[in-house]
Amino acid sequence: MRKKYTIPTYFAFGWLGFAVFLAVFGSFIPIDGYQVIHGDFIDSPPFTSGHWFGVDSNGYDIFSGIINGARLSIFIAVVSVGLGGFIGSLLGVTAAYYRGRYDSVVNTAFNVVLSVPNLVLALALVAVLATNVDINEAVPTWRRLITLVMSLTIVIIPILGRIARAATLAWSGREFIVAARSMGMRDRHIISRHIVPNVLPALIAVGFLAVGVVIIAEASLSLLGVGIPDGASWGGMIARGRNDLEYNPHALYIPIIALAFTVISTNHVGDVLRGKLDRREGRL
C-alpha cells in the first residue's frame, strides 16, 4: 500500500527544489545583481514596479537578494551537513562496530562537542579561525566561507555521528551480522553492505533536520556579525534588515519567510523520507 503524498509534502519538495534551483542557476537569471544600488527606489515597499519584493534602505533589490542569497545559504548548509554527516557517520559506525577503547574515545569526543551549545561553538570557532593577527587587515571572503563551513561541519559531526553510532549499535548485535561473518565476509563488507543500508534511513532523516539547523545557524552567525560580510546570504539580509525594522519591515520579513519555508521544508521532507526509506519487517 503506497501512501499518497499530501499537499504540504508537494509544497515542501517544490520549495526545496526551487531553492536548490536558485542556488545552482540563480546567477544565470537575467536580473540585476544583489549589490546594484537602486538610488531612486530606497525603502520602496513590495510590489513596486520592477522591484517585486521592494528595496531596502541601502538601495539593494530584495528580490535579487533572495535569488542570489539562496546560493550561499544552501551551499553552506549542504556542504556542512554532507561533510559533517560523512565524517560523523564514518566515526560513529566504526566506533559502534569495533567498540573498545576507540569507541570510548570517539563517544567522549562527541559528548564534549555536544555539551557546548551549537551556536556558541560555531561562533567561537569562526571568531578564532577567521581573524587575522593584525585585526585591521581584512579577512578575505573565501577564508571566511571556509571557516564558516568548517565550524558548522564540526557542529554537525557529533549530531549525525551519534545517530550513526546508536543505529549501528542496534544493528550490529543482530543475527544477520553474525551470519555474514560466518560466511567469511570481511568487516568492511559487513559495514558497507549490511550496516550502512540499515543506518542510512535514520541518517538521511536527521540529515535533513540538520540542514535546517545549519541554515538557521548560518543566519544567526550573520546576525551576530561573523557571517559572510558582503551579506550575500539570507542570514546576511536579515542582519542588515533588522536595523530598519520600524520603517522598512519587508527587508527583514521577506528573507525570514524564505528561510522559514526552507527550514520547514527540510524538516518535513526529512520526516517523509524516513517513512519512505523505512523498509523494515512487518511493514506490509
Q: Applying CB under 8 A, which part among 124-132, 173-181, 229-237, 268-276 lies near other proteins?
A: 173-181
Beta carbons within 8 Å of 239's beta carbon, 6+ residues apart: 219, 222, 223, 225, 227, 231
Position among 8, 99, 128, 143 found at the interface with other proteins (CB under 8 A): 99
- The nearest distance, CB 102 to other proteins, in angstroms, is 12
242 binds other proteins (CB under 8 A): no
Position among 129, 185, 224, 257 found at the interface with other proteins (CB under 8 A): 185
105 binds other proteins (CB under 8 A): no
Which grid cell is 78? Answer: 549542504
SS3 of 224, please?
A: coil
- The nearest distance, CB 197 to other proteins, in angstroms, is 5
283 binds other proteins (CB under 8 A): yes
188 binds other proteins (CB under 8 A): no
How many whole angstroms separate alpha carbon 88 and alpha carbon 192?
15
Strand partners of residue 55: 61
280 binds other proteins (CB under 8 A): yes
2 binds other proteins (CB under 8 A): no
Beta carbons within 8 Å of 40's beta carbon, 6+ residues apart: none
Residues in contact with other proteins, shown as a per-residue x/- string from 129 to 168 under the rule CB under 8 A: ----------------------------------------
Position among 37, 176, 192, 245 found at the interface with other proteins (CB under 8 A): 176
193 binds other proteins (CB under 8 A): yes
Nearest to 38 by CA among 20, 64, 18: 64
How many whole angstroms separate alpha carbon 259 and alpha carbon 242?
15
How many whole angstroms separate alpha carbon 237 and alpha carbon 219?
9
Nearer to other proteins, 34 or 97 (CB): 97
Q: Applying CB under 8 A, which part among 3-11, 126-134, 136-144, 186-194 lies near other proteins?
A: 186-194
How many whole angstroms separate alpha carbon 219 and alpha carbon 212?
11
Q: Applying CB under 8 A, which part among 132-140, 180-188, 225-233, 244-252 lies near other proteins?
A: 180-188
Nearest to 67 by CA among 31, 38, 39: 31
Which grid cell is 236? Answer: 546576511
Nearer to other proteins, 3 or 280 (CB): 280
197 binds other proteins (CB under 8 A): yes
How many whole angstroms separate alpha carbon 122 and alpha carbon 152?
6
- The nearest distance, CB 39 to other proteins, in angstroms, is 60
Longest dimension (CA), the chain: 76
How many whole angstroms separate alpha carbon 64 and alpha carbon 53?
9
170 binds other proteins (CB under 8 A): no
SS3 of 55, please?
A: strand
274 binds other proteins (CB under 8 A): no
Instruction: Note the residues at the interface with other proteins (CB under 8 A).
Output: 99-100, 174-176, 178-186, 189, 193-194, 197-198, 279-284
